[in-house]
Amino acid sequence: MKKNQEQQLLFGQLLMEKNIITETQLQEALDIQKNDGATLNDSTYLGQILVRLGYATEKDVVSVVNEQQNHSIKSFSENAQSQIEHHPRTSGKRFRSLKIPIWLQLSIITTVLISVAIFTLYLFTVDLQNRQLFRQALLIGRVSLNYFVNNARILLLEDNNDLRLNTLITEASAVEGIVYAIILDRDKIIKAHTDHTRIGETLKMAPFLSSGIQEGDVTYFDYYSEAEEHILNLSRTVIMKDEALGEVHVGISLDFIDLTIREKTRDILLISLVIIGLGIITAVYYSIRFSRPLVKLVQAFNEISVGNYQHKIKTIRNDEFGNIAMSFNAMSRELWLKSVMQRSFGKYVGNEVLELILDNPESDWLKGRRRKATVLFTDVRGFTSYSKVREPEEIVDHLNTYFEIATKIINQHGGYVDKFIGDAVMGIFGVPVSQKDHIVRAVQAALDMQRIFLEKNRSHEDTLLNKIGISIDTGVVLSGNIGSHVKMEYTVIGDTVNMASRLNGLSGPGEIVISKAVYAHMKDTLDVVLLKPRKIKGKLSPIKAYRILNIKSKEAA
């Protein structure tokens, strides 16, 4: 804490030594910094405050920051990003929040979804293939079984037909997929077998038969032989005239199903790997494509946060990110225009001036130019005595009401409020927007003010509104952005401004005083009274001035 205080004091001293700011301005910025509770480097944050207040330019402040801290930054946003990344309070939080970039998150999610989808499809495909192949094996077995039963029926009726039965078995067993074929007599004695060594034995399949599935007159079950061969056994009773003559058993190999499933699995796995690889590449590409605009948006907001309202997001996309970029650029432009208006005019800008700025934001109208214009001054007569007998809160409230009325009327008639000087308001007509009738506009604004001040004074207990004097002069003024690199604003200067200000001293409460030049232009429409010539500051001879009584015709009003 002590080190930061020393740094910011040294920083402020350097700024004052280079005549960039004053001691008062430094103290104001330090007070704001104290209330804000800076989280960045104190010198950098202090510099941002000075720029925001308009007391210094970013270029000058960044130059001093580089000199003090031995940096080579080009803008506050660049330094702010560096400070955030290395700040001890935020580094852990940043690590946690940015541990997995958004493009990687999207890539992982997409890859997982693709993998789950492929695995689910794989399970479904394998199960369907397995059932189809099993039904195919069952069909082959039934066809073979029916063949044996139909041909063995007559042979089982006679004795000593073992040779013919075995010949039948031998011929049929040549069919691919048949592992064995067995013909039994009614006593379960093997009469024919593909393995001739087993002829005459008793067939023992009771445990398997008990768990067999019955479909019509066929019973089937699958099992693994001693040689670990997967076999589907189908059996059918040989019946003639409702008499059981024996049984026929056929064994169909199911190993081809397992082999086929393994081959399909290998093929599916290869295809899946290709799809997942393409999915990962696509996911990464689009994730980066989607996240890159967000990075640009964060950088853009950092630029805006330090007052770089002319920063633009350079991206051309026909999607939502493109819309965001266009909206951001529109926002930054609006902020820049407002900052231009704020620096040059303050907040009191009429529609015509606003349209000029919007149409020509970078035009040369801000440069020094001589133009014909009309200057209007309003001032409270006897304000010192008025304020002595009232509370500060009441005075401020009444002044704000007066300023609000004056500002609104000046804007309505195409002028703009150049400045507030104590309890006085200075309004300008004819610049920066050129108006041929700027004199008429100023006089009409003054008459409207006079009328509304009177109406408001009658409806309120505010006596300040009946103490306001108004003065108007017209002539050539010098207009443009005037000031120093620390604070600059659009204003007008010249003899016309001074004359309008001096004339205000000749107007009484509720009166409008105009110069000889204004009267010469408006004499056909105004009833006036000539005031006694008086000598004013800055003039060698007494000047003529006129007090407006009323309007001769409605058209003039």
* Cis, peptide link before residue 207, omega less than 30° from 0: no
Burial class (CB in 10 A: 0-12, 13-18, 19+), 137: buried
Residue 108 lies in a domain: no
Query: What is the rounded CA–CA span in Å between residue 157 and residue 167?
Result: 17
Are 47 and 194 members of one domain? no
Q: Show the domain range for 410.
A: 360-551
Are 398 and 539 members of one domain? yes
Cβ–Cβ under 8 Å, residues 392 and 404 = no
Query: What is the rounded CA–CA span in Å between residue 358 and residue 355?
Result: 5
Are 519 and 388 members of one domain? yes
Residues in the chain where the model's pLDDT stays below 50: 1, 39-40, 80-81, 83-98, 347-348, 555-557
H or E segment at 351?
Answer: helix 351-359
In b/e form, how buried is each residue of 230-247, taking b as 16+ CB within 10 angstroms?
A: bbbbbbbebeeeeeebbb
Instruction: Give me the pLDDT at residue 85, please.
Output: 45
Which DSSP letter does residue 189 get? B
Instruction: Please give the distance of CA 149 from its chain centroid, rounded to a whole number.
Output: 79
Are 160 and 58 members of one domain? no
Residue 285 lies in a domain: no
Are 140 and 236 members of one domain? yes
Query: What is the rounded CA–CA span in Å between residue 362 and residue 221?
Result: 91
Are 463 and 495 members of one domain? yes
Instruction: Please give the distance of CA 170 from its chain centroid, rounded to a whole number.
Output: 80
Are 331 and 373 members of one domain? no
Nearest partner of 238 among 208, 252, 218, 221, judged by Cα: 218
Q: In which residue are the tokens 């133009």 written?
A: 371
Instruction: Please give the distance of CA 249 from its chain centroid, rounded to a whole number.
Output: 75
Cβ–Cβ under 8 Å, residues 275 and 203 = no
Nearest partner of 424 among 392, 467, 480, judged by Cα: 467
Residue 217 lies in a domain: yes
Pairing of strands 369-380, 468-483: antiparallel
Are 389 and 523 members of one domain? yes
Instruction: Give me the pLDDT at residue 375, please.
Output: 97
Taking every pair of Cα atoms in the chain, the longest distance, rounded to a whole number of angstroms, is 160
Query: What is the rounded CA–CA span in Å between residue 263 and residue 276?
Result: 20
Residue 292 lies in a domain: no
Burial class (CB in 10 A: 0-12, 13-18, 19+), 112: exposed
Query: What is the rounded CA–CA span in Å between residue 17 and residue 150?
Result: 119
Structural domains counted in the chain: 4
Last residue of one domain, picked from the residues 239, 259, 279: 259
Give the domain CATH number at 374.
Answer: 3.30.70.1230
Burial class (CB in 10 A: 0-12, 13-18, 19+), 176: exposed
Residue 557 lies in a domain: no
Determine the 3-state secondary structure of 373 from DSSP. strand
Are 526 and 415 members of one domain? yes
Pairing of strands 468-483, 512-515: parallel
Supply the pTM of this predicted model: 0.47
Residue 164 lies in a domain: yes
Complete DSSP assignment for 453-497: HHHHHHHSS-GGGGGEEEEEEEEEEEEEEEE-SSSEEEEEESHHH
Are 70 and 187 members of one domain? no
Q: What is each CA distance from 400 to 103, 405, 423, 508, in whole angstroms?
A: 54, 9, 10, 21
Are 379 and 528 members of one domain? yes
Residue 98 lies in a domain: no
Are 477 and 374 members of one domain? yes
Question: From the CB of residue 494, how many other CB atoms can be counted at a distance below 10 Å?
Answer: 16
Which DSSP letter does residue 197 get? G
pLDDT in tens, 377-397: 999 998 988 888 888 888 898
